[in-house]
């Protein structure tokens, strides 16, 4: 048993089973034993690798998309350049390098980061030294000005609730104890909380997930966009009204049992983009592959390949395929753009 498994088993022994959301929050962000608090999870030696860590092209193209939208919206003299869950700061660093040549962009931006892990904050401070980033703990304190924001693999790390349909009613899935070990169960009482009637027609045995933790983020983003304009690019794996049990644990680049080693494996769930978009009219949605292709990744890849030889060139070409091909990240990952109500459509969405 991991130290965190023992802590959680004790707590469940006292207080009874905990929701999947509470379990996920403890596994990821427990101050002492949480996954993000204790380890650098990314890269070849870590448990998973993200798009900006695969290739600089990802951040460059995201940066150009944001900068183009900033220009299209009249190049506001002050704006927030924000990132949610910046990891090692690689994506923001690539965005900043790619936009260096956009006149006025750097002078107008205030780099603003939202990061729960103190260890990763320290890494970000190093990577982004020279750009005077500020960190905000509470998303409601995003400055009240135009907002250009990116979040890559952030929403998939927010805790989800799971519900299972039994006897025609939804019961919340919980983590309890069976023979002293963590085990999934269901609350005996049915609950409609937070599900609404979107899934009323789903058959017996169906599993649905909700992510109330995403609401404050989406509310804060849309409030800035509607008052001042801007663009939010939300990149993640998931779908439009994604369904089923998508809770997954990753350890050393392989799937693991989500209950086996709390705090030592990454836990994520698919993002339901329909919920994030809500009734926002200025929204655009496509796959990561289509987005990067429309922004010109093929030409950029070719250009970079010219200066590379041997293994470096092979790796670079593989990275291009990995980001865009349907069998790799190209289709599973989606991009949702929320734009200011009066903004022209952002680049990258055909």
Residues that bind ligand SAH (CB under 6 A): 28, 36, 42, 50, 52-53, 85-87, 91, 114-117, 120, 152-154, 157-158
| Minimum distance from residue 214 beta carbon to ligand SAH (Å) | 10
State phi, psi for 323 to the nearest 5 degrees. Answer: -70, -30
How far from each other are the two terminal CA atoms of the chain, in whole angstroms?
Answer: 50
| Minimum distance from residue 40 beta carbon to ligand SAH (Å) | 10
Which residues, in sequence order, are CB contacts of 236 under 8 Å at separation 6+?
Answer: 151, 152, 153, 154, 155, 156, 271, 273, 333, 334
| Residue with the shortest CB distance to ligand SAH | 85
Give the burial class of 239: count Cβ atoms within 10 A of its Cβ; 0-12 exposed, 13-18 middle, 19 or more buried: middle
Q: Specify the residue, 55 or 242, whose C-beta has the smaller distance to ligand SAH.
A: 55
| Minimum distance from residue 321 beta carbon to ligand SAH (Å) | 19
Q: Specify the residue, 164 or 211, whose C-beta has the smaller distance to ligand SAH.
A: 211
CB 86 within 8 A of CB 115: yes
User: What does the block give as tokens for 20?
Assistant: 């999947």
| Minimum distance from residue 139 beta carbon to ligand SAH (Å) | 9
- Helix, strand, coil shares of the chain, percent, nearest 5, are 40, 25, 35
User: What does the block give as tokens for 97?
Assistant: 């390098």
Q: Specify the residue, 89 or 229, whose C-beta has the smaller distance to ligand SAH.
A: 89
| Minimum distance from residue 224 beta carbon to ligand SAH (Å) | 18
Q: Specify the residue, 27 or 164, whose C-beta has the smaller distance to ligand SAH.
A: 27
Q: Specify the residue, 67 or 120, whose C-beta has the smaller distance to ligand SAH.
A: 120
């Amino acid at each position: 048993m991991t130290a965190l498994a023992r802590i959680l088993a004790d707590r469940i022994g006292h207080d009874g089973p905990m929701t999947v959301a509470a379990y996920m929050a403890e596994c990821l962000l427990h101050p002492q034993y949480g996954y993000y608090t204790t380890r650098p999870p990314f890269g070849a030696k870590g448990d998973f690798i993200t798009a900006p860590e695969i290739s600089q092209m990802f951040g460059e193209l995201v940066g150009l998309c944001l900068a183009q939208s900033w220009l299209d919206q009249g190049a506001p003299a002050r704006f927030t350049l924000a990132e949610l869950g910046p990891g090692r700061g690689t994506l923001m660093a690539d965005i900043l390098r790619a936009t260096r040549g956009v006149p006025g962009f750097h002078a107008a931006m205030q780099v603003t980061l939202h990061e729960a892990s103190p260890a990763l904050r320290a890494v970000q401070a190093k990577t982004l030294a020279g750009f005077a980033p500020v960190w905000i703990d509470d998303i409601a304190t995003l400055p009240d000005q135009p907002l250009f924001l990116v979040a890559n693999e952030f929403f998939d790390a927010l805790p989800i609730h799971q519900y299972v349909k039994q006897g025609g009613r939804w019961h919340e899935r919980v983590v309890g104890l069976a023979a002293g070990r963590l085990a999934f169960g269901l609350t005996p009482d049915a609950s409609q909380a937070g599900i609404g009637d979107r899934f009323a027609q789903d058959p017996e045995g169906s599993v649905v997930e909700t992510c109330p933790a995403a609401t404050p983020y989406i509310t804060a983003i849309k409030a800035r966009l509607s008052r001042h304009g801007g663009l939010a690019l939300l990149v993640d794996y998931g779908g439009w009204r994604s369904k089923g049990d998508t809770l997954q644990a990753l350890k050393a680049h392989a799937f693991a049992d989500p209950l086996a080693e709390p705090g030592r494996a990454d836990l994520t769930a698919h993002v339901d983009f329909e919920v994030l978009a809500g009734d926002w009219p200025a929204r655009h949605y496509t796959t990561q592959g289509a987005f990067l292709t429309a922004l010109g990744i093929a030409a950029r890849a070719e250009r970079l390949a010219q200066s590379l030889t041997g293994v470096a060139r092979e790796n670079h070409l593989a990275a291009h395929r990995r980001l865009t091909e349907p069998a790799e990240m190209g289709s599973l990952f989606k991009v949702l753009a929320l734009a200011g109500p009066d903004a022209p459509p952002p680049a990258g969405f055909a």
